[in-house]
Amino acid sequence: MSSFLRGNFRMALASIKNTRWRSGATMFGIVVAIVPVLTILGIGEGVKRQIVEQVRSFGSDVMLVRPGAAPEREGLGDLQGLWQQQAYGAFTDDDMKAVTAVEGVGSIAPVMVAPGSVRSEDTDKQIPVVATSPDFIDATKYKVQHGDFFTDNDGARRIAVVGRVAAETLFDGDAGSAVGRVFEYRGESFIVGGVLQKLGSPTFGGSIDLNKAVIISTQQATHLANNAATYQIIVRPTPGVTLTQLQPKLEQALTESRGGQKDYHVVTQAETLDSVNRILTLLATLIGGIAAISLLVAGIGIMNIMLVNVTERMHEIGIRKAIGATKRQIAGQFMSEAAVLSAVGAVVGVVLSYIVMYILRVSTQLQPVITWQAALFVAGLAVLIGVTFSVLPALKAASKDPIEALRHE
Amino acid sequence: MGHMAIIELNEVSKIYGLGDAMTLALDEVTLSINEGEFVGVMGPSGCGKSTLMNMIGMLDHPTHGAYKFHEQPVERIKPQRRARIRRDSIGFIFQSFNLLPRLTVLENVALPLEYKGMLPRRRMQRASDMLERVGMRSREFFFPRQLSGGQAQCVAIARALVNNPKIIIADEPTGNLDSSSSRLVMELLAEIHRQGNTVIMVTHNPELTRYATRVLYMHDGQIVHDEQTKLGEVAPTAKKVIYASTDKNEDDDYAGVSALMTAVPGTTAEKPVDPADKPKPKTRKKKAAPRRKTTAKAKERKISS
């Protein structure tokens, strides 16, 4: 049987070579089906990796507490949660104290938005101001590139830490010499005590990009602007305590502090990954639909070509039957032809997809990634569809009466 | 070996087409062929010779009547097994060679072995040996289009013989060949026959009946004459054709009836000026209506041929 298959394979190649244009057109159909599917899959995979990378940078041992109830996990829940958040009150000092008192809490840092913006001699740009506690650096594990983060002792002094981009903006593109220089906020002068290392994904700033912000202490913020509000608390447990152990205790304390209302939610890496995955699954379903349609069209193309092929080679079928080919052998011959045709198309399609991926990487911000599993799966699917759609033409060839086939010229 | 009937046709008819286009290609043919016979089949174009060959070779099935192959009713043999019988027991040789143009000579000859499931190495060896036997080994890797007609037919014969079939069906194997190629092909067929195989061959050339042990003459789908002949001698009836071929009259030409038919006993007397108007004197038991229509068809066919 294997020798028969090998013979079929060779015959199929010969047949494809003999009908170059027609076979080429069919293969083109498969290529056109595969390339967009693999490219979209690749873009999806790239986006996924970027997001996962960001979520990873968050760290698996830290949690964020934000005002507002946990977003609904069905339908458009995530999106609703986004604007519902505004309706809930910020955290108070009492809330902070309650959370700090919870057993197992290691570092804790509030994140506060201080209204207004910073001015310097060198720029008119608006630079947002974020206020936090000295524990911030410990809770986030961010690195200070130049200088130091402010400490508890600096509380009364006007010392600030600036983001890398903000430092460049404030001091004429020179972040290195920013330490010791001065800027003004709400009529008071602040001295730059440190510059943060550039952050790949500044997750802990929430809606504010910490690279482009100025960080001051909460004491200064509340002193200068009494409407500054804590919209996020970063909590890192003490070593040896896991988030799952800490979370219920923390929630209990905070709910108590907020008058029995659970009007806040806790964000962890696992939860974020979960919602990212849900979005990506949705994307994959969409791609699956597109793939199914384009492969179906390619399959119909193969069927048409094979039908023409069968009609054109009726005499050959007759000869083969006359010298003893069974129905199954004739059907097998045409199906192996379709398999070879779609396999060649699949290989070309995959190669082309990789080329497209490279072009996208070079010329756009997308970072598509085509995994070999995806390539293999799509190529395999193309071959499967090719073979499936050749069943009908192959059966047509096989069931032809030998004498009728032989008379066909 | 010898007198066992391996092919038995009992009142086999074949009708093609419907209504006005109906053609009776075989008309209640009853025939039995024994193992080891070399049967020559002669007759004018369109008399049903090829249909008879296809019927015997199980490429075609009778509309009426029964066909027994090795005492087995063919209509009860499943298509799968029929294909295997064609592969293992019957070798076909066609007038137009019917080699597959995309395969080399060697691959063409090896094809029946491939269908049998033989491994490539063995089947190529066997095909090569068979090509040696027909003197075509030096052309193994040629493609059919690179061969002369005689060479192509030798390859076709090699393909027909490669499975050692007991029956060879040759439909005008020398029809497209010159005389020296014809001779080569006929010697090959004669050798196959000498080895005890059954050969059934359609021919237009009376000379070739020298190779036959029995000659059938067909006309309008019927076997009108059946004679045993001696090997090496032209069949007596066919001989008349050779010597009488000059006495053909215009009517014969017009009707397209070859001189052969004039020589066949029983057909000369009934040759009418206009065969369509005059019913044939033969007795018919059934299927009178389609028969009449097809007589007219037969006439048209004769004129056109």
* B175 assigned to some structural domain: yes
User: pLDDT band for position B266 (50/70/90)?
Assistant: low
Closest residue in A to B99 (Cα) is: A319
CB pair distance less than 8 Å for B54 and A320: no
CA A324 to chain centre: 58
What residues in A contact B124, CB-CB < 8 Å?
Answer: none
Closest CA of chain B from A28, distance in Å: 24
Q: Does the residue B27 lie in any domain?
A: no
Q: What is the pLDDT along chain A (409 residues), one digit of tens a residue?
A: 455 566 677 777 777 777 788 788 878 888 988 898 888 888 888 888 888 777 777 777 888 888 877 655 555 445 554 444 445 678 888 888 888 888 888 888 888 888 877 877 666 677 888 888 888 888 888 888 888 888 877 767 788 898 888 888 888 777 778 888 888 888 888 888 899 888 766 667 767 788 888 888 888 888 887 777 888 888 888 888 888 888 888 888 888 888 887 888 888 878 778 887 888 788 888 878 887 888 888 888 889 888 988 998 899 999 999 999 999 999 998 898 888 888 999 999 999 999 999 999 999 888 899 999 989 998 999 899 989 999 999 999 999 999 999 888 7
Q: In chain A, what residues touch B102 (CB-CB under 8 Å)?
A: 11, 14-15, 18
* A164, A200 contact by CB (below 8 A): no
Phi, psi of A165 (to 5 degrees): -70, -40
Residue-level pLDDT at A53? 79
Asked if B81 has any chain A CB less than 8 Å from its own CB, the reply is no
B112: closest CA of chain A, how far (Å):
6
Angle A314-322/A327-363 helices, nearest 10 degrees? Answer: 140
pLDDT at residue B255 tops 50: no
Per-residue buried b or exposed e for A148-157, using 16+ beta carbons within 10 Å of the residue's own CB: ebbeeebeee
Residue B299's pLDDT band (cuts 50, 70, 90)? very low
Residue B108's φ and ψ, nearest 5 degrees, are -60, -45
Q: Kindly list the residues from chain A whose CB atom is less than 8 angstroms away from the CB atom of residue B54.
A: 403, 406
A-chain CB neighbours of B114 within 8 Å are: 3-4, 7
| Contact list, B94 vs chain A (CB under 8 Å) | 322
Domain assignment present for B107: yes
Render the burial of B90-102: b for 16+ CB within 10 Å, e for the rest: bbbbbbebbbbeb
Domain total for chain B? Answer: 1
Chain A residue with minimum CA distance to B89 = A324
A63 sits in the region (left: phi over 0; alpha: psi -120 to 50; else beta) called beta
Q: How far away is chain B from the Cα of A322, in angstroms, using its nearest Cα?
A: 7
**What ipTM was estimated for this complex?**
0.79
CATH number, position B225: 3.40.50.300
Find all residues with CB under 8 Å of A160, minimum gap 6, and list them: A150, A183, A185, A190, A191, A192, A193, A214, A215, A216
Using the predicted structure, report yes or no on whether residue B10 has a pLDDT greater than 50.
yes
Task: Give the pLDDT score at A222.
Answer: 83
Query: Predicted confidence band at B298 (pLDDT cuts at 50, 70, 90)?
Result: very low
- Quote the CA–CA distance of A184 and A127 in Å, as a whole number: 11
User: Between these two residues, B234 and B274, which has the higher pLDDT value?
Assistant: B234
Q: What is the pLDDT of residue A77?
A: 47
Kindly state whether residue B66 falls inside one of the protein's structural domains. Answer: no
Best residue of B87, B104, B123, B168 to probe chain A, by most A CBs closer than 10 Å? B87
Report CB contact under 8 Å: A321, B86. yes
Identify the closest residue of chain A to B169 by CA–CA distance: A322
Q: Which of chain A's residues have a Cβ under 8 Å away from the Cβ of B160?
A: 323
The answer, for B14 touching chain A at a CB cutoff of 8 Å, is no
Confidence of residue B36 (pLDDT cuts 50, 70, 90): very high
Is B169 contained in some domain? yes
Chain B neighbors of A395, CB-CB under 8 A:
none
B276 found inside a domain: yes
> Of B54, B80, B118, which is closest to A326 when you measure between CB atoms?
B80
B92 touches chain A (CB under 8 A): yes
Chain A's closest residue to B122, CA to CA, is A3
**B246–chain A nearest CA distance, Å:** 35
Q: Say whether A320 and B98 touch across the interface (CB within 8 A).
A: no
**B302 falls in which pLDDT band (50, 70, 90)?**
very low
Short-list B147, B154, B164, CA closest to B132: B154
> Which residue out of B85, B86, B106 would a mutagenesis test of the A interface target, given it has the greatest number of A Cβ atoms within 10 Å?
B86
pLDDT, residue A201, reads 65
- How many Å lie between the alpha carbon of B165 and the closest alpha carbon of chain A? 11
Q: State the pLDDT at residue B93.
A: 93
Residue range of the domain that includes B87: 37-60+79-304
Task: Give the separation between CA A349 and CA A31, rounded to whole angstroms.
Answer: 4
DSSP string, B184-242: HHHHHHHHHHHTT-EEEEE-S-GGGGGG-SEEEEEETTEEEEEEE--TTS--HHHHHHH
Q: Which residues from chain A sit within 8 angstroms of residue B115, using beta carbons?
A: 4, 320, 323-326, 329
Mean pLDDT estimate for chain B: 81
Q: In the structure encoding, which two tokens stand for residue A178, read together?
A: 């920013």
B9 in a structural domain: no
> Å from B74 to nearest chain A CA?
15
How do strand B214-219 and strand B222-228 relate by DSSP bridges? antiparallel
Q: Are A327 and B115 an interchain contact pair (Cβ–Cβ within 8 Å)?
A: no
pLDDT in tens, B184-238: 889 989 999 999 999 999 998 888 999 999 999 999 899 999 999 988 888 888 7
B50 close contact with A: CB closer than 8 A: no
Distance from CA of A360 to the nearest CA of B (A): 43
**Cβ <8 Å between B86 and A14:** no
Which residues of B fall within a CB distance of 8 Å from A3? 114, 117-120
Which residues on neighbouring strands pair with residue A113, listed in sequence order?
A: A130, A229
pLDDT bin (cut points 50, 70, 90) of residue B286 is very low
Whole-number Å distance between alpha carbons of A181 and A193 = 8
**Paired residues of A214 in beta bridges:** A129, A162
Pick the residue of A19, A323, A337, A399 with the most B CBs within 10 A to test the interface with B by mutation: A323
Give the predicted TM-score (pTM) of the model. 0.68
- Report the residue of chain B nearest A403, measured CA to CA: B59
User: Cα separation of A340 and A346, whole Å?
Assistant: 10
Whether chain A has a CB inside 8 Å of the CB on B79: the answer is: yes
Residue B48 C-alpha, separation from nearest chain A C-alpha, in angstroms: 14
Cβ distance of B60 and A403 shorter than 8 Å: yes
Q: Which of B16, B23, B84, B100 to mutate to test the interface with A (most CBs of A within 10 A)?
A: B100
Contact B83 A323 (CB under 8 A): no
Instruction: List C-alpha distances in Å: A335 to A45, A221, A296, A329, B174.
Output: 34, 76, 17, 10, 37
CA distance B233 to chain A (A): 32
Burial class (CB in 10 A: 0-12, 13-18, 19+), A391: middle
Hey, are the CB atoms on A18 and B100 less than 8 Å from each other?
no
Backbone dihedral angles phi then psi of residue B275, each to the nearest 5 degrees: -65, -20
Residue B71 lies in a domain: no
Chain A residue whose CA is closest to B84: A324
Q: From the list A18, A316, A325, which residue is nearest B115 (CB)?
A: A325
Confidence at residue A24, expressed as pLDDT on a 0 to 100 scale:
84
Name the token pair of B290: 């389609």
Q: For residue B86, list chain A residues with Cβ-Cβ distance below 8 A.
A: 321-324
Find the CB nearest B59 among A7, A322, A329: A322
- On whether the CB atoms of residues A386 and A30 are closer than 8 A, the answer is yes
